[in-house]
A = this chain, B = another copy of it.
């Protein structure tokens, strides 16, 4: 966890305090279920809840763990210090440490997913707003970094919206993947504990019982979860790269918002750096690096080995905290992005009218000119634009061989931007639905 790339709400999920709180709730709910089953006295189950509002003393638990070298035992010892060792004697009965640890991890991942889903809503809202704002802002579409045909800035925002919306669906699925709990004992056989306890605890925590666990909840679920975060991070990078390109000096079609306090803003007005989106590019790499170790965690030995644990102590907080930060930063960047429509037009016309050459070529062919001839005609006029800065349309209108095939009006029409934007509404309807803006 890198403090500067973290937000308190997500960090809190991974604090020792939160962890112990969840441990406590699992143990307390389990006691209730055990009392329902008549396995332990009701009074002992009730005693556990007495400490419901107490914040556990993390330092004290660490102290005990230093001796016992076992975190759950340390916690249970500390719990007994609160509620009395006699009252505590039935706590954790029939359970294994992993029942607590794994169920807790999944509670944390579910909560983290909920924050991330809310983050994505912010990103989506910003993208949608900017998409409609710039629905008809024409800019040149580029393939290979080279001008191709006109598109609109709104379409750019809209495609990021569609992509992030897919990511939201993916994350919702990934959340379901890890929304399971297990209270199934040492090797998952429920030998020492009735499945009813698992059922009760899971229901209280908003989880489903894991249909079949060993000592642990199977790690393919977590692999899928982190893989999904990796895909989302890659989409964050995708938006970031677009903005970085738009802000580069020669393009300057947009700029990250530059707050007044930032040094250098106006003495070097050309030197506004897209540092937020560059940062997002790096953060995407950080999130993505969790994917492979999460997959390496799947193949545990027999009913479990503990190799996954240290990995998860790293990647679970790190990947979720970093992605949460990144999504929020991204939402802010999009909301406040300064867009320069006039520069978009200027760029599009860098080679006057040349981006329309393909349309002219097509028109000539359709007018009956052979492919070879059409190519030759376009070529000789295009080269004048390219080499001498001429205006493509003017040259075409002055080329007798061209005008023999196409009337001036037809030539004019080929330079109509409306030709390129005529289906923008269709696409917007596909992305945002029929009543999109509200």
Contact = CB atoms under 8 A, between A and B. Distances in A.
Which applies to chain A's interface (DSSP): helix, strand, loop or mixed? helix
Contacts of A146: 247-249, 270-274
Contact of A68 (B262, B275, B424): B262
A299 B163 contact: no
A119 B5 CA distance: 31
Given A282-B309, A305-B143, A189 B223 contact: no
A179 interface: no
| Most-contacted residue by chain B among A220, A247, A262 (CB, 10 A) | A220
Contacts of A426: 190, 195
A224 B170 contact: yes
Contacts of A386: 269-270
A44 to B, nearest CB: 13
How many chain copies does the complex carry?
4
A interface residue count range (under 10 / 10 to 19 / 20 to 34 / 35 or more): 35 or more
A423 interface: yes
Interface stretch (A28-36, A49-57, A352-360, A395-403): A352-360
Given A141-B187, A151-B188, A220-B235, 16 more contacts: A68-B263, A69-B263, A141-B302, A144-B305, A150-B187, A159-B188, A166-B221, A189-B423, A195-B423, A224-B228, A227-B230, A249-B350, A250-B251, A279-B306, A279-B307, A285-B307
6 interchain residue pairs of minimum CB distance? A141-B187, A145-B248, A282-B310, A144-B273, A234-B298, A142-B302
